[in-house]
């Protein structure tokens, strides 16, 4: 396929690389430090999102937030200006479900198809092509995009109509955030009680408390490795989506709100770019006790 990929960030870069390795013709945006690397591998480097859309049958966006997706799709020299009937737009960003449905309507009005396909798995999953991909769109449109998803992910689910993929991603981010908070509390408790947090974590991994978060992020907390696989600032954005949607739905998400406050405390400490496992630092500050070192 002729594929355009917009967003060569921490996760987008390896995702686009998998498509190129598989033999697809790739067009990327001439922005940041990575386009030259892709050009050396045969990718076409374009000066605008419009040019990418003109050159591609499938256009994939992987950018940070809802306003970024809107700018890429509908801003000056955006994707919409370069579309022609029959093309497919796939947004793999994590953004507002309601805005997603609006974007899809505007793309469909141009005679094109739309799938929302946010991902989970972080940089590790992006590099290993083992991402979880949660998709929303018409079944036949999802089927058209699935071969590309299979090059980037391992767990691919068609959740429902457009926007439902984003709903699933928000739910995912609630679960992940609350798991990180729970592991952080447990590690701070262990350290404050005088036990070895590393040994406590080892014991918990053999029981019902075991989880991927305890395995990966518990180790980060103990070893103090907070270089981002997924930044606190981005997870904070995702919980904002959860809380604003909850207000619109008239429901309470009390633990999500508390965890968001802890992320906000980390940002106030200068930790917007920390890995989200760095949430432990907010709890450490409250306890006057560090988990590891």
Catalytic sites, residue numbers: 169
Contacts 24+ apart (CB under 8 A), 195-204: 197/221, 197/222, 197/291, 197/292, 198/222, 198/292
Cα–Cα distance between 2 and 197 in angstroms, integer?
50
CB-based contacts of 252: which residues, under 8 Å, 6+ apart? 246
Locate 271 and state its tokens. Answer: 């930790």
Question: Crossing angle for the helix pair 212-223 and 164-192, nearest 10 degrees?
Answer: 50
Considering only CA atoms, which of 102, 35, 23, 43 is closest in space to residue 67?
Answer: 102
């Amino acid at each position: 396929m002729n594929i355009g990929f917009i967003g060569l960030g921490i996760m987008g870069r390896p995702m686009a690389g998998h498509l190129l390795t598989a033999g697809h013709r790739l067009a990327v945006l001439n922005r940041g430090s990575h386009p030259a690397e892709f050009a050396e591998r045969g990718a076409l480097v374009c000066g605008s999102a419009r040019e990418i859309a003109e050159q591609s049958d499938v256009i994939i966006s992987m950018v940070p937030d809802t306003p970024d997706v809107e700018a890429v799709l509908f801003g000056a020299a955006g994707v919409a200006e370069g579309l022609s009937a029959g093309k497919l737009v796939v947004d793999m960003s994590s953004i507002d479900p309601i805005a997603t449905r609006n974007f899809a309507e505007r793309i469909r009005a141009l005679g094109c198809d739309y799938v929302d396909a946010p991902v989970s798995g972080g940089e590790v999953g992006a590099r290993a092509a083992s991402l979880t991909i949660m998709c929303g769109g018409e079944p036949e449109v999802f089927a058209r995009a699935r071969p590309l998803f299979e090059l980037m992910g391992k767990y691919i689910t068609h959740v429902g109509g457009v926007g439902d993929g984003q709903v699933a991603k928000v739910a995912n981010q609630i679960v992940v955030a609350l798991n990180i908070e729970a592991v952080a509390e447990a590690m701070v408790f262990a350290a404050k009680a005088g036990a070895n947090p590393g040994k406590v974590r080892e014991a918990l991994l053999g029981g019902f408390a075991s989880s991927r978060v305890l395995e990966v992020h518990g180790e980060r907390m103990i070893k103090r490795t907070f270089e981002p696989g997924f930044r606190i600032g981005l997870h904070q954005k995702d919980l904002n989506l959860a809380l604003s949607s909850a207000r619109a739905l008239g429901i309470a998400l009390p633990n999500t709100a508390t965890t968001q406050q802890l992320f906000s405390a980390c940002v106030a400490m200068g930790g917007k770019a920390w890995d989200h496992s760095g949430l432990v630092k907010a709890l450490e500050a409250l306890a006057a006790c560090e988990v590891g070192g």
